[in-house]
Chains A and B, each alone.
Chain A
């Protein structure tokens, strides 16, 4: 076989790969495009056009019929701005605290010799397999007794000590914080706190980015915990507020899709910024083992 024909074969293989990937990408992307269009349509246009109302304008769309009225209603009539702020507050607080606590724990397990370390590691590993739904009922009762129902603390405190995070940061510390560096800093008279915050933490930066985003995402999209813990509508995060919207305004499709769109956009933007760290961190636990 000569080199030319294998080159042609390679080229043909690439073309056929794109021939599968392009339609697949269109299929996966279509619901997003559709969502944006659905949020911008008046209710009377919702079912008469699949995407945007047709007309003589640019791209064959009648742009005059595009409307932002749903966003206005969400913000001014239905108080969705409040839910957005709740989501931002809950997600960022949980993400930062969970990351700091997990990083400290993982670092201790990876870089210190002490009695009980094996046991502590065993507990962390065992805790990873506890299914969260098992804790819903007893957790609810416990928060009731602590007087933490319907409070942000009742959602944040149980969420900021994730065993999985400790495990991930242990892996990160093992692979990216050299023991010699810690020793040298100790000999220089550096305190343990300064060693952690000044030396170890910066070295674990990729995992920090990944875990912050992972936790932010998980909290933002979490439904069952706030649904159970929160009672006053003023404290609902977006996931709960939007689901409630669906039961009240189930026929107001444009409004529902606009609400969904504004709930999804902040995550997309955050992901675009932290994309590289996120994918690296996501897969490091699995690939490195």
Chain B
């Protein structure tokens, strides 16, 4: 019979073997690749920090960074308050049909980004698309409003909102259900209004989850690729308005064939995400000490 210690490593072995082979080793290769110029997977040439120097001066790269940042900020700022609002509505005591609403709001999250892109590609059409027809019927919106032609970023935000509002709502709902009801009731008896109750009772108890959801959304949004790729027919759209960091990585690595340059972009993205995580940590810790 194996000793427990040996058994522990036995249980961990499959994970660590595959993890070393397909995560640690490629990660090390990513570091090597970033200082090389390559032509496809076979030939490479050492170029030192030239890739990073070129990136710093690459207007397309900065355009991609700007687009991705704008997308991330807008989706997070619009989506998360909405998700929280809907979670609070679903959490109302005595609400009928909660399971049904939850199912409807959550279901778009099951649809993969590629498929969301397929659906919204037709929904965003001028004149014939569902969105313009709906807005036209309700508020007399311009039927020829050029969503994907001129308003790439708003289109991306709308499609994302549809896809992930309910997904984030699920997290908030789970957190809200953990807020002890006596606490809200007590503050209600004390005469606290809804705003006061939210600030002093609800928000403090759901903050850890909110922090988690924000970080998750930021990390996910920074990796945006498939949605504009499919919506804009395998390209970056007019004037590169739909170019994102990962799309640029893909274009340089697999269309131009320079895996070295693509790796450098990957590292920049990695650093960007680490900065986000650190800032977010700091912010949530700073709040705690106040």
For the complex, what is the distance from the CA of A224 to the CA of B246, rounded to whole Å?
10
Chain A residues positioned under 8 Å from B30 (CB to CB): 134-135, 137-138
CA distance A108 to B119 in the complex (A): 44
Instruction: List B residues 1-50 near A (Cβ within 8 Å).
Output: 1-2, 4-5, 7-12, 14-19, 21-23, 25-27, 29-30, 32-33, 38, 41-42
Interface-facing stretch out of A53-61, A71-79, A202-210, A259-267: A259-267
Is A68 in the interface zone, CB < 8 Å from B?
no
Q: Any chain A CB within 8 A of the CB of B198?
A: no
A242 contacts B114, C-beta separation under 8 Å:
yes
Q: How would residues 125 to 156 of chain A score, 1 for a CB under 8 Å from any chain B CB and 0 otherwise? A: 00101111111111111101100000000000
Contact of B223 among A17, A32, A133 (CB under 8 A): A133
- Chain B residues in 8 Å Cβ range of A25: 100-101, 104-105
Interface residues of B (CB under 8 A from A): 1-2, 4-5, 7-12, 14-19, 21-23, 25-27, 29-30, 32-33, 38, 41-42, 86, 89-90, 92, 94-97, 100-108, 110-115, 117-123, 128, 130, 133-134, 162, 165-166, 170-171, 174-175, 178, 208-209, 212-213, 219, 222-223, 225-226, 229-230, 233-234, 245-246, 249-250, 253-254, 259-260, 262-263, 266-267, 269-270, 273-274, 277
Q: Mark A174-208, 1 if CB is under 8 A from B, else 0.
A: 00000000000010010111001000000000000
Closest to B165 in A: A28
Chain A residues at the B interface, C-beta cutoff of 8 Å: 10, 13-14, 17-18, 20-21, 24-25, 28-32, 34-35, 38, 46-47, 50, 101-102, 104-105, 107-109, 112-115, 117, 120, 127, 129-142, 144-145, 157-158, 160-161, 163, 166, 186, 189, 191-193, 196, 217, 220-224, 228, 239, 242-243, 246-247, 250, 253, 256-257, 259-260, 263-264, 267-268, 271, 275, 279, 282-283, 286-287, 289
